[in-house]
Structure 1
Amino acid sequence: MKPKILLVNDHPPSLLALKALLVNAPQAAEYEVITATSGAEALRAVLDHHFAVIFLDVSMPGMDGFETAQTIHSHPRSASVPIIFITAYYADEMNRLRGYQHGAADYLISPVIPQILYSKLAVFIELAKKNLQLQYQKEELALMNRDLQVQQMRDLKRINAALETEILERRQAEARAHDLATRDPLTGLMNRRSLTERLEHAIAMANRYGQRLALLFLDLDRFKSINDSLGHDAGDELLRQVSERIGGAVRESDIVARLGGDEFVVLMEALPSYAAAAEVARKIIATIDVPFHLGSQTIKTSASVGISLFPQDGNTMQTLMRSADLAMYHAKQEQRGTIQFFHEDLNARMLERCRMEQELQQALDNDEFELYYQPKIEARTGRVAGVEALLRWHHPRLGLLSGGQFIPAASETGMLVSIGEWVIAAACAQARRWRDQGLPTPSIPIAVNVAIPQIYADLPDILHRELRRQQVPPSSIQLEITESLVITDTEKATSVLREISESGITIAIDDFGTGYSSLSILKTLPIDILKIDQSFVRDLGKNPSDTAIVAAIVNMARALALRVVAEGVETREQLAVLHDLGCDEHQGYYYSKPLPAGELVQTLMQRSLA
């Protein structure tokens, strides 16, 4: 955009001559010339254009140059435009003074000398060009500022949106973290941590206001067998349905939590009466007693409930939880699917269990255990076919204890695996000693009983380690596993037992007939021997049904190429029936009670000499 020049003169020849000078000037290409023949026309031009300079004739009819200049400079739009007056009155100093008073930038005398005109014009053109450049830069800067503001607004909106998203995600993450920390992920119920906090608060409030509260400890009956037989997905679905039913059976103000596994707890605050706790417990038992539908399966279970009351059963969170837990275990022992309130006898049992755990550990540390051995006799020849190792405990306070008197306590306290390892080590060491002593039948295997926890431990490694340590062959040891252990987890048991069997150790199913194993399971397992439970042997010759059961077991064993051992043989009549039925071996008091290793060797040697 070029700078503009305004020529104002009412005399056409003078206007034309002045315009010709400007148009033909050396720098004419740098500006644009606009003309006006009166002051009024000049004012209109000023309103329409921005001028670098105005050449204004002083003597014009109507509105002379001074009035025109005054009017132009009175308007904000044109107040700063430079005006050069042109006059033919050379010596009129008064007019020159008036021109300067009306804002004239300069004063030229007509006829105008071109060089003077061009030099003066050059100053204003250069100034206008710089003003135009500044204006352009100003507009560019304004545009840039506007674009920058727009971009900043966009960036700000984007940043705000990202920040809002981050805040939302963080809140969601915090909510998820809080749920994970305080909620059971499977059922959505409170977990142990949040229950503990709520129970501590409830106890504090009950103490302050003299209120009563109850804690209900629930455990599903036979949940593990359901989980193992139907799979963990079905087990999880059962737990979800159980949690919903419990929630529907309790009061709206009651708190339901899942501690883990199949254990649930209900906290009842502001209890109107202790009978209300029993009423809620009965509702829970009744609703869980209704069959559950898990996909295409319909299963039935029950719940055992233990109840502890505040303040009589404990005034702390730990004691109330412990009391309710003990009451629940008491319910399971007495009759599954029932309710039991805590009482002091349960507390005494708990203390006894803790004491027993300490004493069992001391028994291992102080070598208080001993293995007794009961022979297994081959029915056809009468020779000793093997011995069963039976654990005894020389208890410093209670005297000699059989396994039945402390093994259940060992199972409750988690000591079975450690004790089982001791039995295996002791049996392998005894096998080594008998070989070194020249026992009449040095190759007879020593049978050891395996508990359920051991099957999940490193049982094959433990066996092989002790056999290598004592340098005795695998045939020196025989494993006896209960039928219930096999059906608890058939797949796991089969895998572990196959590894043991392939090493040369024989395997027997103990107490056969008391469990529920199927023929297909027996065909799958790598077993060598079936031991008939003594409950079927006790009335042989007296009870035809027991005789028929034993006959069936013997025939089944024959079909599976397994040897059969009868336990609990105490009379000649029982032995005669077993012999007729084709039983391979017998074991019991008829031949010998369990004996310490030294007495057993003496008995065997005496009989071999007889």
Structure 2
Amino acid sequence: MTQTPPTQAAALAREGDPVLAAVLVAIGAATAVTGVIEGLLAPPAFPVLAVVFVVSVGVTAVYQIPSGRAPGPPALGVAAALLVIAVPGTNPLFDVGLWVVAFFVSKLVVTRSPWMAAQWSGQAAVAALAFVFGARALAASGVPGWIAVPLGLAAYFAVVLAIDFIRSKGQWSRTGRGVGLGALSPARLALVWGVATLVALVDWAISEGYLQVLVGADDELELARQTIPLLIVALVFYALAKRRETRVSERRLNGIVDAARALPWNPEDDLTNTMKSFAERAVDAAVFTVRRTPPGRNEIGAKFTRTGALVDPQLDETPYDDEDGVPGEHEQDAVEPVEYLVAMRKDGGVPFSQEDERALDAIGHIASETARVRGAYDLLLDRVDRDSLTGLPNYNAFQRSLVRLNEDRQYASGLAVLFIDLDQFKRLNDTEGHHVGDEMLATVATRLRASVRPHDFVARVGGDEFVVILTKLQSLAESKAIADRIVANLSKPVLLDGREYRPLVSVGLAFSAAQETDPRSIVVDADHSMLSIKRSRRQGGPSFESSIGISPHRSSRINEIVAKAIDDGTLNVVYQPIVNMAEDRIWAFESLVRYTHPELGRISTSSLIEKAKGLGRMDQLTKLVIAASLKSAREFQRVVPSVRTMTINLEVEQIRDEHVGGFLKEIVPQYPEVTLCLELNERSTKDIDDELRAQAEVFREMGMLIALDDYGSEASSVGALVSIPMDILKIDRSLAGNLDDTRQREVVRALQGFSDAFEYSTIVEGVEAQEQAEILLQIGVKHAQGFFYGRPVPFAQTMSRLKNSGDAGTLGRPRLAERGRLG
């Protein structure tokens, strides 16, 4: 069930009582006619005064102040204050009749609706009669005019509010739904009544001669006392109305300019919400909505089309979702209907102007153009990534998707690549023609898409070559079963150009049970397996049936190798010096893990760490490194007593007692001569909690140092600088790679200043040349690490360096100038 917005509900309620509307129109007409008749029977002494009165009322009635804090209550003006001339007057019906006529003309000009203007005039006529005759009755009973006039105005506003409350069927609640008075603002009511009272009393005092202005008995002076206050009031409120109009025009212009300056709108934000946001800045309205029906009475709207290109779900990086209820094969038939950005004014407020409508139309046009450009851009990207013949993603799209699907999967989620080659395709092209070959390729593509699951991926990567990425697999057997189904579907007969053909394919399958460091290796293995099938055909294998070759993908073997190396403790630990550049001396080493397999060669550190995490052996690996590092540090310190600090790498979660924290508390006290520094990876600190901060403080009290490692790498956060207690800030090599760049140099200078302010030591990583070191010294950085001072080498080579050169930071080069000591 669709709910009606509060403003629209109140408007419908007000318009839904034609009897009350007709009564109000009749009252207004009767009041005006009666006034005209009274004027004819007893012409005014000063016709000019009547003209000035009508003009002043018409001008003043334009200026209104909202009486509610929310949509519902009407806007009120001070035009009623000019009725004060009828209180002491000799022909009050004539004065009220003229006032109603002027009020009607003013509302007609503003609303451009005679029926609405007549209703408002009838409502105002009842209130005006209550004011004038109520005040006259009070004055006749001896109540002073300065009391009778404010009470009469109170009666005027009370009658207006009461009639409007009835017309709105009581829908003045704060929410706009249901009967209530919550939307009414007492403060605004008091303001309007106060201003109207002040205007009425000043007008009344001048016209009655109480202020001794234009004193005299001449007719000209009497006319001046009557007309000048009216003209002054009209001029003041005309100026206020113009000022408001100028501010509204500025608002419209600023809203449109803001929408234009914000182009291109953020594609991650909902286009409808962005459009409504800019519309709210440009047009003063209570409610903005986007719907498929045109604007109704007392509303304005702009057409809006959210036309956009449909992107292949295989190329969309958002998770698969078919909740829209439109089957994939019919997606291209979906047509976006025209919608409308509709604005609904606060009830009783000043109606929309043509300028409001133009501003809203401009916002809607900008939004439509934004949607069109987005659609064209998405379509262009889609075409770049798509094979024009089959409609499948191409090789570039396949490469990106393979990386994404490999990275997004959980460790226990298997992935397989099928490399599919359409055999004897060249012969088909040469003998039957390319049009038949094209039809064969299109048929294979269609069958492939129909054979896989929604979260799998299909692409054409060459002339007669296709690949399929199977995801969310539990085993190699499951991937083989899906591959068998695909081959069975592809091998069914197909009728092309009046003849029947049976496609013949060779399929290479490579299965990966865990996330790969280099996912391209799966493709290579699948390709090799497919080529083996083709070679077997040439060597006498099955020639007339499709075949699948399964690759012995090596990911599971690497897992076994890494697990065995950790379990057996055969990993290698290497050490890289950390140097005080000012003194050109080594004061610490960072320990790093390495492993070289006799057959496979060196396994990259990133792959080693990744496999250890996936195998649940990361804590075990870290403990091995800690134990080896502390033992080595003791030996280093015996050779060079000043080198007593050893740094090791951890993720912040590992410092909990149940991971590595308990081990640290046991082993560190066994090496009192060594200062252990825990380098916590900056990316791992994003989820730090109070328990981890407390643990870090415990380690610091035990004499350990805390370093924030790799700061400045991709996705670094300023919050990491204050999220955990630390002693050392290690700046990533990416911020020191080009110190000739003023911006990069100033970033490093700023980080050094931050460290100085909080008494941290700063270490810049990746220093590979003397020029870098000299620039860093010039901007205040004292400590560095990198190939310029030494590559990571095993224990024996490190000991040899210390024995031969002591704590010298540079070997075979002139030392940099002394600039201070390490604190």
**TM-score interval (norm. to shorter):** 0.3 to 0.5
Task: Determine which structure has more spread, i.e. the larger CA radius of gyration.
Answer: 1
TM-score (norm 1): 0.45
| Greater share of residues in strand | 1
TM-score (norm 2): 0.35
